[in-house]
Structures are given as structure tokens and as C-alpha cells.
Structure 1
Amino acid sequence: MPPIKRNPKQASLFSTLDEGAPLALLPEDVSLDLPAGWQPELSNEISAPYMKQLLSYLVERSQHAVIYPAAHDWLHALEVTPLSAVKVVMIGQDPYHQPNQAHGLCFSVKPDIKVPPSLVNIYKELSTDLGIEPAAHGFLESWAKQGVLMMNSVLTVEDSTPNAHKDKGWERFTDKIIEIVNRECTNVVFLLWGSYAQKKGASIDRSRHCVLEAPHPSPLSAHRGFFGSRPFSQANAYLTSHSITPIQWQLPDL
């Protein structure tokens, strides 16, 4: 379901939820529709004043800039991976900022889109680690459906402008999600790649979860220790040791 709640009595509604379209809804009527798999844990957070301010800001910015991903994908990571299913958490920074790339899962791109450089390196490590040949696409939703929560810290961005929505409220929201997983789940693997993700995951209880840290898979840092870190086999070994079904990292053909 689209994450935007729309009041049918409101005259100025979203004209469309397509990528890049202005969000034509009055700010006071904006709210997010929380996926059922994260209720009631996130119910108070989604309606907090700072979230209302964030969404009003996004509505205003959408009149002047193209926002990625499309509004119905802002909470896609939560839709695909309910809290009860979380086995692994990947933390990214913010969405891809070019057309038709971002769809709400960190590192993943839509089908038929060129595989981005960081994901190319993730595939290289997957091949070295588990002997899995790189997929011809960058659509990672099959991981998310198996319990890999693939969440950026900031859930929106503007066209060609990395970090455009930094410090607008998304970080507080996604910090809350990590806090909930840390508290409500056990034996989750956190893949923290790069200093940004590692700082965001600093409060994770390592006595009840597995934290695997490595440099970011970006071409700028992958050779500093991401390559050779073997995160996929380590994650599966940990899950298996706790009688949890491991992740099938082999991506299906599209």
C-alpha cells in the first residue's frame, strides 16, 4: 500500500505518486501509513511532531525539486521486511539520487537499471565469499523478503543532490527502528559497512546480536578491508548457529 494517507475530503490531494511528481497535499494533512508489520512499535513515532514537520518539508520541497524514491516507496523496507521477520540489518546512508534507481531498499536499484559501483563491489565480495556469480541486475528485494532489513538512514533525496535531506528528521526515525530491532529481536546480524553505518549502530547490544563491521563497499574504500571481510558466510554461520534459516544470497533471474 502507498505510505501516504490521503483524506478523501481534502480538496488538494496527491495528484500522483509517481517518481518525481509534486506531492500536492496540504502539509497539515500529510501523514505516513505505517506498514502493519511495524505496528504498534512505531505508531507513536510515525505521528510525532518531528515527523509531521519532516513530511511538510517534503511536500514543500517536492514543488521545487524531484524527490527520490517515489512516495509509495519511502517505507518500502518496512513493508517488505516486517519486524517479526528481521534476521539481518543492512544500513545505508541515503537513496540513490538519479532517475529510476531508488525504490526504498539500500544498495538496491530497480530492475533494468545499471548496477551501481558499490553494489558491483558487494557482488564481487559475494562471489569471493560464497562462490555466487554476480547477478545481471541490482534488484535485491529477494534478500529483503527473506528477512534482510535494507534501510537507509535517510529515506529520501533530491535529484542529483546527495544528502539533500540530511538532518531533516529521517535519522531520528531510522534510529528508532534500530532501537526497536535491538530491543525486540534476538540474534540479528547487523552489517555495518563504513563509519557512517558503524556510528549509527553504536548502541546495538552485541551480547544479543552479531555485529559485522567493514569499510564501505564504495570504490573509494572497498580495498581497505571490505574485500575479504566475508560478511555473507559469517552472517549465515551465525544464523545457523542459532537455529535460524540462513539467507539465500543467490539472487533470482529477472
Structure 2
Amino acid sequence: MFDLSDLGAWGDLPFFAQDLPRIAAQIDGDFLPPPALTFAAFERTQPAETRVVILGQDPYHTPGKADGLAFSIPAGFGGRLDSLANIFKEIQSDTGQRRNQTDLRDWADQGVLLLNTALSVPPGQPKAHAKLGWSTLVAQVLERLNDRPRAFMLWGAPAHAYAKHLAPRHLVLRAAHPSPLSAHRGFFGSRPFSKVNQWLIEQDQQPINWADP
């Protein structure tokens, strides 16, 4: 079902041999993003390259919208942007810059791991795969990234629960999820993008270009 050939260093995580077969056996029918894109975030951003992690909830449940990178939407998608539209509003409010490109692969290429707490969802059924066992993978990913200081944005209660896996050396920013249902409860005004960039500069690293590339 899943193509694991491009996982690189992430492929060493025990999850892929020990847990993924069980999850695959539990999935009945179509799911999003499609199998070829399920692990796109890992393929795009390797552990050694990861400088920032954005942790959300689960993938978009509208066909054609989820591309395997949390919050990213393929270019040309004609529907509502929902969470991503609110992210764009916060980028402009926080940094004064504009973002219109919905495909977030340029963030991934700068070292931003775009991850959800669940990596699959049936069409039209949000959170339906939240308890399949993806939590084991997320925990192992975060623990792998404890080897050096990184910045983490944890958006929404499911993401907040993973803070326990993070070492004190990191920058950890918690906020409400940017969904239209919750963005007004603490996502807007949280200024995560400028805070992360300031921290990266203090770490003698290049800041992330959150605006259009």
C-alpha cells in the first residue's frame, strides 16, 4: 500500500517495520492523502535538515486538497483554504509579508517539517483515523529530533499533547489550531513566524522565508 523507498534516514524508525503493517491492515477504502503522498513530509525534509517542526492535527479530508505536507495545498486547488487561509493572515499580521502560494514545499526545502498527529483520513471524515496508531510515529519522530535544538510549533490540543516528547533545549510554541473553528481562540496574534525566525537568528541560523518564494 505504502511506498517507503524514499524515506531516507527516517526509515530507521521502528514504526515502519513494527506498526505500519497493522495500520495498513486497518484502513478500509480510500484515504487522504493518497498512499503515494502519505509520507511526503518525511521524503522532503530529512532529520539532519529539519530546523523547524509545525505539528497540526490530521490531513485535509477534501479530495485533492491534502498533499502529504501538513497545511499545504496543491497549486490550482479550487476550493476553500480554511486553515491555510488563516495561516496566511497570521503571516501578514506577524511579519508584514504576504503569502499566496498554497504549495508549502518551499518551507519543507528550508528545513520545516510539516507534520500532522495523524497521517491519514477518510474522505469527508475528519479525525476518523486519529486512533489508528499514527501517534507512535509522531512520538518517534519528535524523539529523533531531540539531538539538537530545534523550533516546534504545536497547533491545537492534539499537537500540544506531544510536548512531553521534547527536550528542554528546544523552542516550543503552543497555539490554537488555525482552523476556522479555533483560530480566534489563540492562533491569531500568537506571532509564531517572527518568534521562530528570531530564535533561529539567535542560533546563528538563516531565518525561514514564510512569504512567497
Q: TM-score, normalization: structure 2?
A: 0.93
* 115, 131, 150: which one aligns with 2:114: 150
Task: State the partner residue of 1:77.
Answer: 41
* 188, 209, 214: which one aligns with 2:150: 188
Let me know the Cα RMSD of the aligned residues.
1.7
Task: State the partner residue of 1:213.
Answer: 174
Quick one: which amino acid aligns to residue 86 of structure 2?
A: N
Quick one: which amino acid aligns to residue 180 of structure 1?
A: R
* 8, 12, 17: which one aligns with 1:36: 8
Q: Given that residues 117 and 130 in structure 2 are in contact (C-alpha distance below 8 angstroms), is that contact kept between their aligned partners in structure 1? A: no
Task: State the partner residue of 1:45.
Answer: 15
Q: Given that residues 56 and 177 in structure 2 are in contact (C-alpha distance below 8 angstroms), is that contact kept between their aligned partners in structure 1? A: no
Give the % identical residues. Answer: 38
Q: Given that residues 34 and 46 in structure 1 are in contact (C-alpha distance below 8 angstroms), is that contact kept between their aligned partners in structure 2? A: no
Task: State the partner residue of 1:88.
Answer: 52
Q: Given that residues 200 and 206 in structure 2 are in contact (C-alpha distance below 8 angstroms), is that contact kept between their aligned partners in structure 1? A: yes
Displacement of 1:204 in angstroms is: 1.2
Higher RCO (C-alpha under 8 Å, 6+ residues apart): 2
1:231 aligns with 2:192: yes
Task: State the partner residue of 2:103.
Answer: 139
Task: State the partner residue of 1:160.
Answer: 124
Q: Given that residues 117 and 218 in structure 1 are in contact (C-alpha distance below 8 angstroms), is that contact kept between their aligned partners in structure 2? A: yes
Pair 1:245–1:37, CA change in 2 (3 A) = farther
Q: Which whole-Å deviations, capped at 9, do the CAs of 1:152-197 have from their partners, x for residues lacking one?
A: 1111111111122121121111211111112x2x221100112221
Pair 1:194–1:166, CA change in 2 (3 A) = closer
Quick one: which amino acid aligns to residue 183 of structure 2?
A: A
User: Aligned partners of 1:225 and 1:98: how far apart in 2?
Assistant: 25
User: Aligned partners of 1:92 and 1:119: how far apart in 2?
Assistant: 11
Quick one: which amino acid aligns to residue 52 of structure 1?
A: P
User: Aligned partners of 1:166 and 1:198: how far apart in 2?
Assistant: 15
1:54 aligns with 2:17: no
The within-5 A match list for 1:192-203 is: 192-203=154-165
| Deviating 4+ runs (over 4 angstroms) | none
User: Aligned partners of 1:251 and 1:89: how far apart in 2?
Assistant: 19
Pair 1:88–1:115, CA change in 2 (3 A) = farther
Quick one: which amino acid aligns to residue 202 of structure 1?
A: K
User: Aligned partners of 2:138 and 2:165: how far apart in 1?
Assistant: 13
Displacement of 1:229 in angstroms is: 1.2
Quick one: which amino acid aligns to residue 72 of structure 2?
A: S
Give 3-state SS (helix, strand or coil) of 1:171's partner.
helix
5+ unaligned residues in a row in structure 1: which ranges? 5-31
Q: Given that residues 74 and 103 in structure 2 are in contact (C-alpha distance below 8 angstroms), is that contact kept between their aligned partners in structure 1? A: yes
User: Aligned partners of 1:37 and 1:69: how far apart in 2?
Assistant: 22
Displacement of 1:225 in angstroms is: 2.2
User: Aligned partners of 1:145 and 1:37: how far apart in 2?
Assistant: 16
5+ unaligned residues in a row in structure 2: which ranges? none
Tell me which moved more, 163-172 or 86-95: 163-172
Q: Which whole-Å deviations, capped at 9, do the CAs of 1:199-226 have from their partners, x for residues lacking one?
A: 12233112x1100111221222222222
Q: TM-score, normalization: structure 1?
A: 0.79
